Amino acid sequence: MKITNVTLTAMALFTPYLFAEKGHKGHDHSDHSEESHDHAKEIAGPNKGRILTSTEPHAEFFVTPERKVKITFVDEDGKALPINGQTVSAIGGDRAAPTRMVFKKDGNSLVSDKALPEGKLVPIIIQIKPAPDSDNVTEKFNVDFSECPTCKHLEYACTCGH
């Protein structure tokens, strides 16, 4: 019985290594970096915010000077689309005392009723319903308020791919 357990353990540990490099010779792995495949780095929204690509149409995440969250749905060129039944809700900040945000229409955008909590790195969970008959799409990330050293945008909205 001991041989079987040792054999199974060895197989579990070494099997991933057998397949790790298969089909990956002859090209640079930097081609697989997150930035090189992230469409959000290729387009900028009307407010110069972060593009969330998990929804169709894509949505721009932008934080106003008052730290309210502004969501603008955009076309493939980054131009604002009219609000047409989309809904958004968000929870941000400390898990022990989260800030729950409800969004209301403001022109071609949806703006949160509350500001993001203070801090340079604020976790957020956003639920977007891109159409009345569609399922919710959930986005989770940290809103990084540090300044990008290259493009001078805030890190959460950086488009330079540094």
> Residues 54, 57, 62, CA angle at the centre, nearest 5°?
75
Q: Which stretches of the chain drop beneath a pLDDT of 50?
A: 1, 8-11, 13-41
Task: Give the pLDDT score at 123.
Answer: 97
Vertex 67 angle, CA 76 and 61, to 5°? 15
Residue 123: strand pairing partners = 142
Phi, psi of 103 (to 5 degrees): -115, 140
Q: What is the pTM of this model?
A: 0.72
| Average model confidence (pLDDT) across the chain | 80
The pLDDT score that the predictor gives to residue 57 is: 93
Q: What digits encode the pLDDT tens for the residues 116-146? A: 999 999 999 999 999 999 999 999 999 999 9
7 vs 12: CA distance, rounded Å: 9
Residue 149, pLDDT score: 87
Q: Which two structure tokens, joined as six digits, stand for 140?
A: 């989770």
* Domain architecture of the chain: domains with CATH: 2-32 (no CATH), 35-157 (2.60.40)
